[in-house]
Structure 1
Amino acid sequence: MENQMFCFQCEQTLGGKGCVKHGICGKSPEVAGLQDLLIHMLKGIGFYGQKAIEKGIKIDDETNKFVIDAVFSTLTNVNFDPERFVDYIRKASEIKNELRDLAGEIEGAIPSAALYVPPATEAEMLEAAKEFGVMSDQSLNEDVRSLRELMIYGMKGMGAYAHHAHVLGKMDEAVSNFFYKGLAATLDSNLEVGDLIGLNMELGQVNFKCMELLDGANTGAYGHPVPTEVLITKKKGPFIVVSGHDLKDLKQLLEQTEGKGINIYTHGEMIPTHGYPELKKYPHLVGNYGGAWQDQQKEFDGLPGAIVMTTNCLQKPRDSYKDRIFNTGIVGFPEIGYIKGSEGVKDFTPVIEKALELGGWTEDEPEKKILVGFGHNTVLSVADKVIDAVKSGAIKHFFLIGGCDGAKPGRNYYTEFAEKAPEDTVILTLACGKFRFNKKEFGSIGELPRLMDMGQCNDAYSAVKVAAALADAFGCSVNELPLSLILSWYEQKAVCILLTLLSLGIKNIHIGPSLPAFISPNVLQVLVDNFNITPISNVEADMAAILGEEALA
């Protein structure tokens, strides 16, 4: 069945306007339609959930988990399986009815999304979904639509962080409650531009709490990351490559492969896990294979090992490795092996058997290593050295160069920026954007390496915590530090991190490689006027503007 689609939630969107026939990410029109219908259902859930919360009623953790996971499932490069979305929609209908009963009598009008009952079959759902796309209401004010979508995409990003936290048993009522508030707000026709800007800033504040929760969950379970050299070349023998972001999945796989002669390699955003004491203690966690998510089809092509995708960053698998890639958790793709869990425990036997069957690489490569493990605990433990280096003039400036990587032209900007950063500057980096330059040699300033990998996009809290601590030490605001944020974005986790930075009052952010298609010109102007957000231009001009202004000051 042919289905219409419109999607502009990620940076790769067609022509900078929107994918209308098939998602560049690989998302089919059918999956796009079912995601639209699921978001419509979640808005109705938000309405009833918010009414219950306003009456002082506490929503149970299982319902909160469903809402968080369902929102997360619609984030770019997470789930491409129509059957999984049909199940989500059916479950959403049950949850909505339960929350309607929980909320009790409601005064005033009830929006149609709250009253909506989805069809029973996938075919009927696909037909119905045409009514609920992003652009379905042509009468909606462009700026209101822009801010509603900004909030929805921010919640998709926060859904990822909240999901990882609750996998490790950590939930926060304020974080869970905002999903209902935010979703309900997208149905409220009384909210104008100013109201929606305020709600997006509130989302940023809540996401900071969520990232703090996740940081505590990760470090509580696996210890604080420490500087660690990571092998980035191949070793002989059977192996499994683990991609995504989920530390618990990696830990269980390490436990289940111990003593079996299988090497474990991280991929993409999993590379920072080598710095965690409770993960790095396994000697068969041998190294990292490959780079960022957008290269996986090339890197996994005919790979003589098994692959596990733990969360987002999945691409459509090629036939050459369909038989050896496995999904788990929220991740989904039709006709691909799936590792289920029961009460938080997963059995990776099919992955292990496939790795042993394939045999792995037949010889070792010459060793090459890079350094990871500069979370906030490590950086702040040498804060005195950092402060002394700044006061002596040994360090003139800090650049945080990081964010999402992607395939779109223009991302070589970030490589060039890192390469041209003066030798008296320090480069902090996080998320998969670092793969543009993390294998290059940058040297050191005294005892401090010039390149410090602060972790996953999930670890953005570390960067904020370090910036705040430095600001306190120098008795100034973060905006007055010799610190510039040079950020790349691709999907919705970057959106909620940006909202967090803005909600904390952080200004002068340089962002690229292109601006979001869902941000209207008027909303963009508000961000420029209030936060001096600046699109990247070229490295020489941007570097001169940053360092030149500092020199003049």
Structure 2
Amino acid sequence: MEEAMFCYQCEQTAGGKGCVKMGVCGKTPEVAGLQDVLIHSLKGIGYYGWQFIQAGGKIDTPTYKFLMDTMFSTLTNVNFDPERFVSYIKESNKIKTQLKAQLGDKANSAPREADYMAPTTKEDMLRDAPKVGIMTDPDLDMNIRSLRQTLIYGFKGMAAYAHHALVLEKKDEEVGNFFFKGLAATIDESLGVPELLGLCLELGKTNLKCMEMLDAANTDAYGHPEPSELLISRKAGPFIVISGHDMKDLKQLLEQTEGKGINIYTHGEMIPAHGYPELKKHKHLIGNFGTAWQNQQKEFDNLPGCILMTTNCLMTPRDSYSDRIFATSIVGFSNMPYIEEHNGRKDFTPIIKKALELGGFKEDEPERKITVGFGHNAVLSNAGKIVEAVKSGAIKHFFLIGGCDGARPGRSYYTEFADKTPHNTLMLTLACGKYRFNYKDFGTLAGFPRLLDVGQCNDSYSAIRIAVALADAFKCGVNELPLTLVISWYEQKAVAILLTLLSLDIRNIYIGPSLPAFFTPDVLQTLVEKFKLKVISTAEKDLESILGPDALKS
């Protein structure tokens, strides 16, 4: 009998409604079912953890870490290994039991869902999966389900940022506590649409604090990003491509490959590493390989080097490179070699040996370079120059064109939009959506490249810092600035960022290429009315709406 599933957490979900046979991402019904059981178990941990916090208790670091890692592991394109989820589910039972014991007689009467204890075998877990999935209760109000799932997906995104910060020994009690509060709310029958919408916006505010924490963790460890050129062409010799987001993994890999004749290329959202002083000082951090994550199966095909996946976004490996791709951290795929951590250190010897064995590229390509590293510190150090350029009329408008990318043809909108922006406008970009157009030369404006790469998706914090600083300089609100946000979304980190922007009351955001399947018409209408959220149409029509019809003629 074919296993059933239902998942609609990413933008490319089947038919824009939900994956029911196989995930578009490659997730099997087996993995989807185990993820459903895990998320249901985490809701109970949230309930008892929130009770414990309200009774004056403090969540210990192992429990905090477990919650961040497990929520992150269910994010799109992170972990496809069923055995890892079985292990997580078993551990969730232990943590829930421990929290209940710590509460003792202080525990309030719990909802039935909070006391759920998962079975101990994979087969029994999968039998339970249909009882705990998204659509288990057909009578649940559709708007309640929509907002509960929005919370869950926002937490998955925020968990990614909290995970990365914790790797660098940064954690925040307020951020951690809200995970428990919000997860508990998803099984609280007393909460209606207004309360759940309020919690979604509270998640957005908490995510801003979380991104601020991660920004501090990265800059404390590696310095503030600075504008830096990097190669996007290949050099002869053995190499390792490192993908994902984890800068600590990259730092350790650089240290362990020093002097071994191995070039290190970043891939995907690891590209901002080239702007950090403590990372780019390693001269064998040679450049960036490939384009966006969704092209990896083609670009990694028969690659004469190794790949290290540190976080999302992983696609099902092809046979032609399955013997040279390695996972670490919360990434997983059945039978994929995994690099463990011991006392804060990872031994990358297996991947180093394999890279040397493969030999690498045979010859140099013609040299091509791009510039990255325009974080908030770099941009705001030139704030006076930017303000004067606006006052003089040299800069007419700012666009933030960024977000998470996917494979659908409709995403060409973002390239067309960037191409059509007038020459008197400045563009900021972040996250993997930039791979649609970051190789293009858009020229300069007021002494700046017209396209400024702000960094990873979590560097939305930098974009917010820049926007707030400009608003302060012009003594106005962010919504009064000549600034428009044009956001693409694919997975759950983008959901968390959208909630952050809405929590700051930033309006008139253009979002696409399609709306989340988990937004009901009523929820969408509320967001449109309250925040003037807009769905993208065509690049030309949207630019004319933003700038006026004559602006495109300039």
TM-score, normalising length: structure 2:
0.98
2:35 matches 1:35: yes
CA distance in structure 2 between the partners assigned to 1:350 and 1:314 by the alignment? 20
| Maintained 8 Å contact 1:43/1:184 | yes
RMSD between aligned alpha carbons? Answer: 1.0
User: Are residues 1:105 and 2:69 paired?
Assistant: no
SS in structure 1 of the partner of residue 399 of structure 2: strand
- Paired residue total: 551
Q: Secondary structure at the match of 1:426?
A: strand
For residue 420 of structure 1, report the CA deviation from its aligned partner: 0.5
Aligned twin of 2:316? 316
Q: Amino acid of the residue matched to residue 125 of structure 1?
A: M
Offset at 1:116?
A: 1.4
Aligned partner of residue 230 in structure 2, secondary structure: strand
CA distance in 2, matches of 1:254, 1:312: 20
Deviates more, 1:187-196 or 1:109-118: 109-118
Per the alignment, residue 44 of structure 2 pairs with 44
Conserved? CA contact 1:161–1:210, under 8 Å: yes
Residue aligned with 1:410, SS: helix
Shift of 1:550: 11
Gaps of 5+ in 2: none
Q: Say which is worse superposed, 56-65 or 97-106, in terms of deviation.
A: 97-106
Contact 1:230 1:288 in 2 (8 A): yes
The answer to whether the 8 Å contact 1:3/1:127 transfers is no
Return the alpha-carbon distance in structure 2 between the equivalents of residues 118 and 284 of structure 1: 47
Please tell me whether residue 526 in structure 1 is matched to residue 526 in structure 2: yes
The residue that corresponds to 2:91 in the other structure is: 91
* Structure 1 match to 2:276: 276
**1:188-211 CA distances to partner (integer Å, 9 max, x unpaired)?**
000000000100010000000000
Secondary structure of 1:454 counterpart: strand
Distance 1:487 1:54, change over 3 A: same
Q: Please report how far the alpha carbon of residue 548 of structure 1 lies from its aligned counterpart in structure 2 after TM superposition.
A: 1.6
Residue matched to 2:479:
479
What's the CA shift for 1:372?
A: 0.1
Residue 104 of structure 1: how far off its partner (Å): 2.1
Aligned to 1:411: 411
Distance 1:468 1:329 in 2: 34
CA distance in 1, matches of 2:416, 2:344: 43
Q: Is the 2:51–2:108 contact (alpha carbons within 8 Å) kept by the matching residues of 1?
A: no
Question: Which amino acid counterpart does residue 423 of structure 2 have in structure 1?
Answer: E
Deviation at 1:5, TM superposition (A): 0.3
Unpaired runs of at least 5, structure 1 = none
Q: Which amino acid aligns with 1:340?
A: E
For 1:20 and 1:426, the matched residues in 2 are separated by 42
1:210 aligned partner, one-letter code: C
Residue 9 of structure 2 corresponds to which residue in structure 1? 9
Give the C-alpha shift of residue 108 in structure 1: 4.9
Cα distance in 2 between the residues matched to 1:505 and 1:479:
8
C-alpha deviation, 1:103, in angstroms: 2.0
Name the CA distance, whole Å, in 2 between partners of 1:434 and 1:65: 31
1:479 deviation in Å?
0.4
**Residues 348-359 of structure 1 mapped to structure 2, 5 A cutoff:** 348-359=348-359
Tell me the secondary structure at the aligned position of residue 201 of structure 2. Answer: helix
1:109 CA drift (Å): 3.2
User: Share of identical aligned residues, percent?
Assistant: 67
Aligned partners of 1:177 and 1:66: how far apart in 2?
A: 13
Counterpart residue type for residue 8 of structure 1: Y
1:514 corresponds to: 514
Residue identity opposite 1:169 in structure 2: E
* Partner deviation per Cα, 1:281-330 (whole Å, 9 max, x = no partner): 00000000001110000000100000000001000000000000000000
Give the aligned partner of residue 545 of structure 1. 545
Task: Tell whether the 8 Å contact from 1:161 to 1:214 is kept in structure 2 after alignment.
Answer: yes
Give yes or no for the alignment of 1:229 onto 2:229.
yes
Is the Cα–Cα contact under 8 Å of residues 244 and 269 in structure 2 kept in the other structure? yes
- State how far apart, in whole Å, the 2-side matches of 1:59 and 1:152 are: 20
Per the alignment, residue 159 of structure 1 pairs with 159
Instruction: Output the CA distance in 1 between the equivalents of 2:438 and 2:83.
Output: 39
Kept after mapping to 2: 8 A contact 1:3/1:130: no
Instruction: Output the TM-score relative to the length of structure 1.
Output: 0.99
Q: Which amino acid aligns with 1:137?
A: D
The aligned residue for residue 337 of structure 2 is: 337
- Equivalences for 1:457-472 in 2 at 5 Å? 457-472=457-472
- The residue identity in structure 1 corresponding to 2:517 is A
Query: How far, CA to CA, are the matches of 2:43 and 2:262 in structure 1?
Result: 45
Counterparts of 2:192 and 2:169 in 1: how far apart (Å)? 37
Superposed CA deviations along residues 143-182 of structure 1, whole A, max 9, x for unmatched, are 0000000000000000000000000000000000111001
CA contact (8 A) 1:482 1:550 kept: no
Instruction: Say if 1:222 and 1:277, in contact at 8 Å, map to a contact too.
Output: yes
**1:18–1:517 contact (8 Å) kept in structure 2:** yes
3-state secondary structure, aligned to 1:38:
helix
1:107 Cα deviation from its structure 2 partner: 5.9
The alpha-carbon deviation at position 3 of structure 1 amounts to: 2.0
Amino acid in structure 1 at the alignment position of 2:3:
N
| Cα distance in 2 between the residues matched to 1:540 and 1:409 | 17
Q: Following TM superposition, where does structure 1 have runs of at least 4 consecutive aligned residues deviating by more than 4 angstroms?
A: none
Distance (Å, rounded) in 1 between the aligned partners of 2:179 and 2:7: 21
Partner of 2:287: 287
Partner of 1:249: 249
Aligned 8 A contact 1:339 1:347 in 2: yes
Residue 425 (structure 1) aligned with residue 425 (structure 2): yes
2:305 maps to a residue whose letter is: G
- Paired with 2:504 and 2:362, the residues of 1 have a C-alpha distance of 51
